Amino acid sequence: MNRSTGRTWWRHPTLLVAIVALGAAVLYASFVHIDHILVALPLLFILACPLMHLFMHRHGHGHAREHLDRNDAARSEDEKP
């Protein structure tokens, strides 16, 4: 990245050519192999379910302990005279 020309990294001509070439390759592959993509789509949805469960529930069941600790702390404060 050359600071003297004032160009940012995403406006570099080589990067723009690479992005356009990658886009063209993705479009070509999707048009040629659309039947393979459509066959694999239900399987990809089924495989996405465990991954979503894993990432959306933050890798386990450790949150119940935090909830119990907060309840115990609140209960002990209520019992003080």
Query: 35-79, pLDDT tens digit by residue?
Result: 998 999 999 999 998 888 888 876 555 555 555 566 665 666 656
- What pTM did the predictor assign? 0.42
Together in a domain, 50 and 21: no
CA 4 – CA 8 distance, rounded (Å): 11
CA 39 – CA 35 distance, rounded (Å): 6
Q: Which domain holds residue 15?
A: 1-32
CA 22 – CA 15 distance, rounded (Å): 10
Mean pLDDT (whole number) for 2-29: 83
Number of residues in the chain: 81
Q: Domain total for the chain?
A: 2
Are the beta carbons of 9 and 1 closer than 8 angstroms?
yes
Are the beta carbons of 22 and 29 closer than 8 angstroms?
no
- At residue 54, the pLDDT reads 84
Together in a domain, 10 and 43: no
